[in-house]
Amino acid sequence: MSTYDLIIRNGYVVLPNEVKKADVAIQNGVIIKIGNLLDDTGLEEYEAGNQYVFPGMIDVHVHFSEPGRAHWEGFETGSRMLAAGGCTTYFDMPLNGIPSTIDETALLEKAKAGEANSVVDFGLWGGLVPGNVEELEGLANSGVIGFKAFLSATGNDEFERADDFTLLQGMREIARLDKILALHAESDHITQFLKQEKEEQGLFSPDDYAATRPLLAEAEAVERALTYAEVTGCRLHFVHISSSLAMEKIEAAKQRGLDITVETCPHYLLFNQDTLIEKGTVAKCAPPLREKAEQDKLIALLIEGRFDMISSDHSPCPYELKDPATHNLFEAWGGISGGQFSLQTMVELAITYEIPFQKVADWTAGTPAERFGLSSRKGQIKEGKDADIAVVSLNDTHTVTEDNFFAKHKQSVYMGHTFPCKVTATFKHGKLVYEKGEIRHQGRGTWLRSMAIEPSI
């Protein structure tokens, strides 16, 4: 008989290859034993009572906008919101904060804010923008998880899109540094050209907005990035891919051996262009929510296992920037606020389409950990990994309201949506950080500097 710090009892544990009724023993923040542990005791015991025990989500794509625009979200509210959704690690994007994370000084400043305020672990992306190629090595040496660039306009004056020459130079350097470049892939030329046409005609409806960012704009940018990756040898990660056309190109490039991963976001799977028509600016994002037929194709690709991972792209702003009274759809800030609901969305889709929960765990934790160098410590419920855990009930539903959405600003496309499941508890390093509607803050999160990630035991 052994005594552990904590035993999570009687859950259906989502292991890498199966879901198994088991107890999980945790010591010093690390998973020590999984199985029938009736003979063992925990200093604390948590009765999971037939709920599902998932690995804590690793959300590789959020925008917390701190320092500089913490009033948009910030590490404190943002990390609490993620914890309430079963997320225990996230990677913050290099734009929307001031300064942008495009040199070492800015990186360290952001890391300090994160270490002071985040309640879960985090990594930080560095930016590739025109003129900062010589900063990439310093950013890599200081521990960025990877780099991010935009092929289309960012909507943010402090973070310019990468022109083609910058992309080529940056990719060559990022390959040398053995890092990954994440790309927002939409053609700037196509989107600007179509936007200008619509503006000249005074057309600002949801359908007009969607028409300015067609599937072809995404596919063209993806194709170009793939060619540049082949020229430079750079590893790529495509963020928020929203079309089957782009996926065809990515799939073909994978087949010919390019080292590429691809994410999509819950909102492209759960919503479509009708939602933009119905809900307006809270449903504005880029690429835009697609037509129902395209949404169905994305779900089919998900079921086939074509997406490597799922990220939220949580990208909130104060409501004034989305207020339809003062902004038409073209002017309103684009970005979906909903980082709390990624795991629940994927569980909903898994229930609807009979997708095994192991796949959900893989998309939300296993593959992100593997791809970004965290797998010695994170990403699976397994002996030796950090006890980062999300407990999900299928016996409860969860209707999103202002009271149970933990983001700083409550306007969201998810408002009013009812999930057929509920995250009831989140453990970070074996400590309860969230339980039944309450944040139970136990210590700060750690900045996961990419070169310093060692096994916990």
CB of 61 to Zn ion, least distance (A): 6
Cα dihedral 121, 96, 158, 259 sign: positive
- What b/e sequence results for 101-138 when a residue is b if at least 16 CB atoms lie within 10 Å of its CB, and e otherwise? bbbbebbebbbebbeebbbbbbbbbbbbbeebbebbee
Instruction: Assess contact for 9 and 370: CB atoms under 8 A.
Output: no
CB of 62 to Zn ion, least distance (A): 8
Residues of this chain, 377-416, that bind Zn ion according to CB under 5 A: none
Q: Reduced to 3 states, what is the DSSP secondary structure of residue 259?
A: coil
Instruction: Assess contact for 445 and 119: CB atoms under 8 A.
Output: yes
Instruction: Assess contact for 23 and 9: CB atoms under 8 A.
Output: yes
Tell me whether residue 263 or residue 313 sits nearer to Zn ion (CB atom): 313
Check binding of 66 to Zn ion (CB under 5 A). Answer: no
The structure tokens 């929510």 sit at 289
CB of 242 to Zn ion, least distance (A): 12
Burial class (CB in 10 A: 0-12, 13-18, 19+), 241: buried
Tell me whether residue 52 or residue 363 sits nearer to Zn ion (CB atom): 363
CB of 241 to Zn ion, least distance (A): 12
Tell me whether residue 42 or residue 97 sits nearer to Zn ion (CB atom): 97
Tell me whether residue 92 or residue 313 sits nearer to Zn ion (CB atom): 313
Tell me whether residue 308 or residue 313 sits nearer to Zn ion (CB atom): 313
From residue 210, alpha-carbon distances to 240, 272, 283 in Å are 16, 11, 11
CA distance 270 to 265: 9
CA distance 111 to 378: 20
Tell me whether residue 342 or residue 424 sits nearer to Zn ion (CB atom): 342
CB of 168 to Zn ion, least distance (A): 23
DSSP code at position 49: T
**Would you report the helix, strand and coil content of the chain in percent, each value rounded to 5?**
35, 25, 40
Residues of this chain, 123-152, that bind Zn ion according to CB under 5 A: none
Q: Which positions ≥6 away from 112 have C-beta within 8 Å?
A: none
Tell me whether residue 42 or residue 316 sits nearer to Zn ion (CB atom): 316
CB of 95 to Zn ion, least distance (A): 8
CB of 234 to Zn ion, least distance (A): 20
CB of 38 to Zn ion, least distance (A): 46
Instruction: Assess contact for 204 and 329: CB atoms under 8 A.
Output: yes
CB of 354 to Zn ion, least distance (A): 30
Closest CA to 333 of 120, 110, 31, 73: 73
Show the binding pattern over residues 295-334: x = contacts Zn ion (CB under 5 A), - = does not. Answer: ------------------x---------------------
Looking at the DSSP bridge assignments, the partners of residue 23 are 35
**# residues near Zn ion by CB under 5 A:** 1
CB of 93 to Zn ion, least distance (A): 5
Amino acid (1-letter code) at residue 190: I
Tell me whether residue 218 or residue 313 sits nearer to Zn ion (CB atom): 313
CB of 311 to Zn ion, least distance (A): 8
Tell me whether residue 265 or residue 392 sits nearer to Zn ion (CB atom): 265
When CB distances to Zn ion are compared, the closest residue is 313
Instruction: Assess contact for 231 and 261: CB atoms under 8 A.
Output: no
Q: Which positions ≥6 away from 19 have C-beta within 8 Å?
A: 12, 13, 52, 356, 357, 358
In this structure, the strands spanning 52-55 and 3-14 are: parallel
Tell me whether residue 160 or residue 386 sits nearer to Zn ion (CB atom): 160
DSSP code at position 447: B
Tell me whether residue 73 or residue 386 sits nearer to Zn ion (CB atom): 73
Closest CA to 311 of 114, 28, 59: 59
CB of 154 to Zn ion, least distance (A): 9
Tell me whether residue 25 or residue 149 sits nearer to Zn ion (CB atom): 149
- Chain residues that interact with Zn ion, rule: CB under 5 A: 313
